[in-house]
Structure 1
Amino acid sequence: MSKKWFKGKNFFILFFIFCFVFTTLSIVEAKRVKYIFLFIGDGMAFPQRVAAEQYLGKKLLMNTFPAQGMTTTYAANRFITGSAAAATALACGIKTNIGMIGITPDGRIVKSIAEMAKEKGMKVGIISSVSLDHATPAGFYAHVKKRNQYYDIAVQLAKSNFDFFGGGGLKDTLNKKKNSVNFQGDALKIIRDSGYQIIKDKQMFLKLKKGNGKVVVINPWLQDAAAEPYSIDQTDKDISLAELTEKAIEILDNRHGFFIMVEGGKIDWACHANDAVTAIKDTIALDEAIKVAYNFYKQHPKDTLIVVTGDHETGGLTLGFAGTKYATYFDILHRQNLSFRRFTDEFVKKMKTSKKFTFEDVMPLISKYFGLQFTGSADNPLLLKPYEVVELVNAFAMTMKNNIDEHDPATYLLYGGYDPLTVTITHILNNKAGIGWTSYKHTAVPVPTSAIGVNAGIFNGYYDNTDIAKKIMRCLGIKPKVYFVEKQGEKIKLVANW
């Protein structure tokens, strides 16, 4: 080849080819990692992370990680994804339809990265602040056509042989909802018979040590839908995500390593209800769990990878509101001291059963638990404006009705199917802080993915949520492709291979 070829433009062409090949090889030949943490903030995208930082007045640990990527989330059959399809993408590396867990759209069963890690001899832990049979945790051990097959998912939990489950409870262990056609008896008994201890007491949880065997830890208080209470409502009697993560590390650490998935599941639920403070508190709780993993990473920097992502954004959270223009007042959010759920459960239900309850009776509660003021100085950002008081009065009247038409478009836009008074309170408080919402459902905006540790660099860039599973496969020392489970003794042919 002529020396002239290496001059000018040709030299740069060769240089870029070299860089591309080097980068590709470095990704394909990623070092096998002994300890892998995957943190998933359900409903957590850029706005949720930034709102939490503004609330705290400092950086979240997850936002300081050296590798920062942006991840698309769409499902196989819908642009705006659901948690089941998103969990399948993150766990198995494939796109599937809304509501499906661990299977392809045509029903073929796909192995998850957690199942692959277990086959590699690693210990596996699954942690979530929602029920352990919910879509995201189930995506790592279950394979069902519909996410509401809670009984089937619980049975598959027992058969997973994973080492540690912790967080919320199980929603339908007796198949009362008749979502399964293969009832095999009490799922809790099946779990125990599979060698698991079921722990529902915090003191017993704290006494757990390595060598205790397989365990399912369920928080003593399940606030709603078999989930842990929101972080803002938790007390010392509850088991936090950070405590669950710390205990999982203690129990699972071994010479073969571990894979631990931790989900902050109620970020999503709070955003569905447009309760920014509750969502922020649960985002902070997830970051506290990440700190536990980070401390472990500092002790094992050459063997550990931490990845943080979200399955989708929820609520269309916007940092900026027309009513405050360029101003924000995040400090006023500290005046809220309970979740929308607790306010509804403890106060609204009492209102609805009392015929004598008036709006004047509600006003002190709104001020006490959310900080909104009905009288005071005009320059107080918490002072309610006349039109906001009218909104609250109308919402209270709607709350006291027993026949709300949630299918009415105008009513849905105002309240989203939640208690009218409660959601109006959080809307007003959020708007005063400079926060807006566009939806009571998920949105399709990309989510941030952050990483630190071994191979963290491969999580930089812009990629799909299925790529996260593929990248973790590389870190497990596994060729990234779709791995199907054997069915009736016959291996199902691969439909994709990256």
Structure 2
Amino acid sequence: MKKKIISLLMCLMLPLSALTACAPGNAQNSGADTTAGATTTTVADSKSGAVKEPKYIFLFVGDGMSHVQINAAQVYRGNNTEGEVTTKSLNFTQFPEAGVATTHDATSFCPDSASTATSLSTGVKTHSGVIGMEKDKKTVVPNISEKLKAKGKKIGIVSTVTINHATPAAFYSHVASRNDYYDIAMQMAESGFDYFGGGSISQATGKNKDQADAYGVLESKGYKVIKTKEEIEALNSFSGKVYAMSPVLQDSGAMPYSLDAKSDGVSFADFVKKGIDVLDNENGFFMMAESGKIDWAGHANDALSGISDVLGLDEAVQVAVDFANKHPDETLILVTGDHETGGMTIGYAATGYDTAFSILNNQKLSYVAFDEMIGKMKEEKTNMTMADVMPVITENFGLIAPTDAAAKDESKKAFVLTDYEYKKLENAFAESMKAEDKRSSDDEAMLLYGGYDPLSVTLTHIINNKAGIGWTSYAHTGTPVPVYAYGAGAELFGGSYDNTDIYKKLAELTGI
């Protein structure tokens, strides 16, 4: 009787729109979206009983992702028509619990991925650049993956960037420097974890290319190293220990940006789905899945590439939600960021209170793919001019030179470069045509280009600004990050806390 009274009181505390969830037999529609055309995600109610240990745990990390990257994706998916402005929610923003976490590390309020991922995986603060160790850079701190593996769960690590990059590495390795890629790869092989998926191994034969090949070392430790779509699709619970590498790689051995990915490729969501197939077992599993190139796009100030990867993350989370719907009382899904990158804002000085995210639809590829395209043009024509490049810019970004005949078309007014913007583009083109070691490296050049190719970063700045998006940095910022939670134990993750508390709450839930 007492339980029924408590249950009734909890229902009375809910908003009117949520009271239907208290009706017998009704599951809470935690993904219901009241905005026009939004996708509905149906999940079971995680608040109806006492906190219980989750059997299956998904931790999704959007590297470089804070509130603004998430809302920019919702604005992009929504309606930017004057008088009808609305966002279209992502599935994880509709989870029943939401929190906010601070991200500073032991050395800075603008931390790096090594220290923040270490906070998420171990619950300790450490120096920027340090993975899985205390501030003394010597004391090893066991991480949640290792502890849950010892408890009998299977472990999966997925990342869209190189698998021995800082964030994934923090869940299986311990090094004083995140740049010790080869040592990290060796610890990956020794971990005994069950599933690795995503990008390639950075410095697989060591910094000087004189070490035993890391792929071979993994195979000697019993891992199947697979690199084709057909092999990845064939993975199942009988596959044993697996490292599944993306068949298509982009900059520095990472998976392609979602914006550049082909429909017949292997997506981030596919790697999560295959991870479930490999890891599913009677003792449960823990999977950390990182969308790492949200961060890389933020560093390069390329809004659409970042937004596209946030949407790719949303698709991967949906895979976990679909699994949770089959195991509603046993699954916990967390979605968070490690830090914010780029100081991204929805709002730009020259546009006032206006935004025009539809302009971004004209960008057809990432800054990386554009750099590759221009690089090939340079090889084919040594004395390339702005007149040679402008048609390529128009085709791939929609931007039109003020002298172009198309500039007179009223319907294309939003895409016509002002004289100021065109001059910026001309200066950037001239700088871009120089050999990299001959380019300007003074303070002004760093503020304008941030070390990226001058032409591509100027293009993304211009199209972002026209859309109403601004940037303050080419680096990380100290902005707190959101935490979204659904499932068994999700109620622990509401409120405001530090990123180390995410580990501590997981440790409490799992009894480690």
1:307 touches 1:452 (CA, 8 Å); kept in 2? yes
How many percent identity over aligned positions? 49
Match 2:276 to one of 243, 246, 249: 249
Once the two structures are TM-superposed, the CA of residue 189 in structure 1 deviates from its matched residue by 1.7
> 1:390 — aligned with what?
423
Aligned counterparts of 1:155 and 1:215: Cα–Cα separation in 2:
15
2:431 touches 2:439 (CA, 8 Å); kept in 1? no
Once the two structures are TM-superposed, the CA of residue 407 in structure 1 deviates from its matched residue by 3.5
Structure 2 counterpart of 1:459, one-letter code: F
Whether 2:463 is the aligned partner of 1:429: answer yes
1:38 touches 1:262 (CA, 8 Å); kept in 2? yes
> 2:246 — aligned with what?
219
> 1:86 — aligned with what?
116
Once the two structures are TM-superposed, the CA of residue 177 in structure 1 deviates from its matched residue by 3.8
Once the two structures are TM-superposed, the CA of residue 149 in structure 1 deviates from its matched residue by 0.6
2:483 match: secondary structure: strand
> 1:66 — aligned with what?
96
> 2:170 — aligned with what?
139
Whether 2:199 is the aligned partner of 1:168: answer yes
Structure 2 counterpart of 1:409, one-letter code: D
Aligned counterparts of 2:387 and 2:184: Cα–Cα separation in 1:
47
> 1:307 — aligned with what?
334
> 1:324 — aligned with what?
351
1:376 touches 1:383 (CA, 8 Å); kept in 2? no
> 2:144 — aligned with what?
113
Structure 2 counterpart of 1:384, one-letter code: L
1:352 touches 1:400 (CA, 8 Å); kept in 2? no
1:310 touches 1:447 (CA, 8 Å); kept in 2? yes
> 1:468 — aligned with what?
502
> 1:494 — aligned with what?
none
Aligned counterparts of 2:117 and 2:366: Cα–Cα separation in 1:
26
Residue correspondence of structure 1 range 67-466 to structure 2 within 5 A: 67-106=97-136, 107-177=138-208, 185-351=212-378, 354-374=381-401, 375-377=407-409, 380-402=413-435, 403-405=437-439, 407-466=441-500
CA deviations on 1:10-61 (whole Å, 9 max, x unpaired) are xxxxxxxxxxxxxxxx9xx952110000000000001100000111111111
With structure 1 as the length reference, what TM-score do the two structures score? 0.87
Residue correspondence of structure 1 range 19-30 to structure 2 within 5 A: 30=51
Aligned counterparts of 1:130 and 1:376: Cα–Cα separation in 2:
43
Once the two structures are TM-superposed, the CA of residue 273 in structure 1 deviates from its matched residue by 0.3
1:232 match: secondary structure: coil
Gaps of 5+ in 2: 1-46, 79-87, 402-406
2:196 match: secondary structure: strand
1:377 touches 1:383 (CA, 8 Å); kept in 2? no
After the TM superposition, which of the residue ranges 44-53 and 468-477 deviates more from structure 2?
Answer: 468-477
1:30 touches 1:474 (CA, 8 Å); kept in 2? no
Once the two structures are TM-superposed, the CA of residue 371 in structure 1 deviates from its matched residue by 1.0
Aligned counterparts of 2:379 and 2:135: Cα–Cα separation in 1:
44
Number of aligned positions between the proteins: 447
Once the two structures are TM-superposed, the CA of residue 352 in structure 1 deviates from its matched residue by 6.6
In structure 2, the CA distance between the partners of 1:391 and 1:140, relative to structure 1 (3 Å rule), is: same
Once the two structures are TM-superposed, the CA of residue 185 in structure 1 deviates from its matched residue by 2.5
CA deviations on 1:143-179 (whole Å, 9 max, x unpaired) are 000001111111100111100000001011211348x
With structure 2 as the length reference, what TM-score do the two structures score? 0.85
In structure 2, the CA distance between the partners of 1:110 and 1:395, relative to structure 1 (3 Å rule), is: same
Structure 2 counterpart of 1:420, one-letter code: P
2:119 touches 2:503 (CA, 8 Å); kept in 1? yes
2:259 match: secondary structure: helix
> 1:51 — aligned with what?
72
Aligned counterparts of 1:289 and 1:78: Cα–Cα separation in 2:
31
CA deviations on 1:269-316 (whole Å, 9 max, x unpaired) are 011000000000001001100000011111111000000000000000
1:406 touches 1:417 (CA, 8 Å); kept in 2? no
1:130 match: secondary structure: coil
> 2:11 — aligned with what?
none
Once the two structures are TM-superposed, the CA of residue 125 in structure 1 deviates from its matched residue by 0.5
Structure 2 counterpart of 1:418, one-letter code: Y
> 1:477 — aligned with what?
511
Once the two structures are TM-superposed, the CA of residue 222 in structure 1 deviates from its matched residue by 1.4
In structure 2, the CA distance between the partners of 1:102 and 1:290, relative to structure 1 (3 Å rule), is: same
Aligned counterparts of 1:358 and 1:208: Cα–Cα separation in 2:
50
Aligned counterparts of 1:293 and 1:50: Cα–Cα separation in 2:
21
2:249 touches 2:256 (CA, 8 Å); kept in 1? yes
In structure 2, the CA distance between the partners of 1:156 and 1:46, relative to structure 1 (3 Å rule), is: same
> 2:21 — aligned with what?
none
Once the two structures are TM-superposed, the CA of residue 354 in structure 1 deviates from its matched residue by 3.0
1:31 touches 1:477 (CA, 8 Å); kept in 2? no
In structure 2, the CA distance between the partners of 1:388 and 1:378, relative to structure 1 (3 Å rule), is: farther
Once the two structures are TM-superposed, the CA of residue 237 in structure 1 deviates from its matched residue by 4.0
1:69 touches 1:459 (CA, 8 Å); kept in 2? yes
> 1:10 — aligned with what?
none
Structure 1 counterpart of 2:417, one-letter code: L
In structure 2, the CA distance between the partners of 1:72 and 1:352, relative to structure 1 (3 Å rule), is: farther
CA deviations on 1:208-259 (whole Å, 9 max, x unpaired) are 1111100001111211111111111111342111001111111111110000
Once the two structures are TM-superposed, the CA of residue 389 in structure 1 deviates from its matched residue by 0.6
